[in-house]
Chain A
Amino acid sequence: EADIYQTPRYLVIGTGKKITLECSQTMGHDKMYWYQQDPGMELHLIHYSYGVNSTEKGDLSSESTVSRIRTEHFPLTLESARPSHTSQYLCASSESGGDGYTFGSGTRLTVV
């Protein structure tokens, strides 16, 4: 039973469109993260948040933005999608001082 939810599961969208990938968790975790992962490749951190109204960029340069208005919700927005954004996007959360991350099922994005 998933406690962290990502929608949509799959998305095919045209170049130039604005999209928002949703991520919600019901565990009350303070910390949330967005990763990008291409098939068979490593995870790249693109954004993270340690609490409401706190967001930071990760190691991977990204044209996306995030917001954290509520503890349980951490959406990621691409203002203008490009084919280079085609990838899997994984959301994760953890407690402060907690024992590792819980990952969502991911959103597989294809930009055509």
Chain B
Amino acid sequence: QKEVEQNSGPLSVPEGAIASLNCTYSDRVSQSFFWYRQYSGKSPELIMSIYSNGDKEDGRFTAQLNKASQYVSLLIRDSQPSDSATYLCAVDDKIIFGKGTRLHILP
């Protein structure tokens, strides 16, 4: 049984600071990793994907993957109140989502 673990939070971060979200996974052969953002009452939306060890940057977002340690993280630079949401980590194509981390950006 594949598992994806996330700290449920809430994680409170001051506006303008860096928010760091972490995710660990159990299946060593997992190949693809995704971060989704879900606002309250809305559907998840894909914000980052990563397939290779290292960092991948897209605007204020950076995804980091370490397959040896089986973790993937998401950094949000210059956090804004609009970043307040639940962030879901997903592993592989078959749909294994973590429980999500609630992020709250403090104005």
Number of residue pairs across A and B with beta carbons under 8 Å?
40
A63-89 interface code vs B (CB 8 A; 1 in, 0 out): 000000000000000000000000000
User: In the complex the two chains form, is A100's CB within 8 Å of B43's CB?
Assistant: no
Task: Report yes or no: A45 in contact with B95, Cβ–Cβ below 8 A.
Answer: yes
Interface SS of chain A: loop
| B22 on interface, CB distance cutoff 8 Å | no
CA distance A42 to B3 in the complex (A): 13
- Sampled A-B contacts (28; CB under 8 Å): A31-B93, A39-B41, A41-B99, A42-B98, A42-B99, A43-B88, A43-B97, A45-B95, A48-B95, A58-B95, A90-B43, A94-B93, A99-B46, A99-B49, A100-B36, A100-B49, A100-B90, A101-B34, A101-B36, A101-B46, A101-B95, A102-B46, A103-B43, A103-B45, A104-B43, A105-B42, A105-B43, A106-B43
